Amino acid sequence: MGSERRRFPRLKDSVQIRYRAVKSDVFPGEESEGFTINISGGGVCFSSQEALEKGQILAVEMQLPEFDSPVVTLGRVAWCEKGSESYEIGTEFWWIGWGDEDVQRSIGDYIRRSLETG
């Protein structure tokens, strides 16, 4: 697979996340948990014990180092692949923060600092 150009650098941090599928007939859905595989300014990849459908909208909450409160996002499942013991889920951020317009920039800054010191 040739060199891949990414819009955002990836930080391979593993933090626990909680997520719920946003469904038109039932909201909120049942809460599930997983662990991040990598995080970027554009989305998050995480492991899950359940398969998720491409295009599914998720409400995600994760506690990142250096952030005093959880980061809350809405994301769209871009892909779902079966791994050896779990599924890997790639999501694109659709909305980040809760009344804080600088959260996406803050996540990008956190990733850059972590990559520089790692």
Judge whether residue 55 has pLDDT over 70.
Answer: yes
pTM exceeds 0.75 for this model = no
Tell me, letter by letter, the H, E, C secondary structure of the chain.
Answer: CCCCCCCCCCECCCCEEEEEEECCCCCCCCEEEEEEEEECCCEEEEEECCCCCCCCEEEEEECCCCCCCCEEEEEEEEEEEECCCCEEEEEEEEEECCCCCCHHHHHHHHHHHHHHHC
| 3, pLDDT greater than 50 | no
Confidence of residue 26 (pLDDT cuts 50, 70, 90): low
User: What are the chain's domains?
Assistant: 16-117 (2.40.10.220)
> Phi then psi for 52, rounded to 5 degrees?
-120, 145
Q: Which residue has tokens 């659709």? A: 94
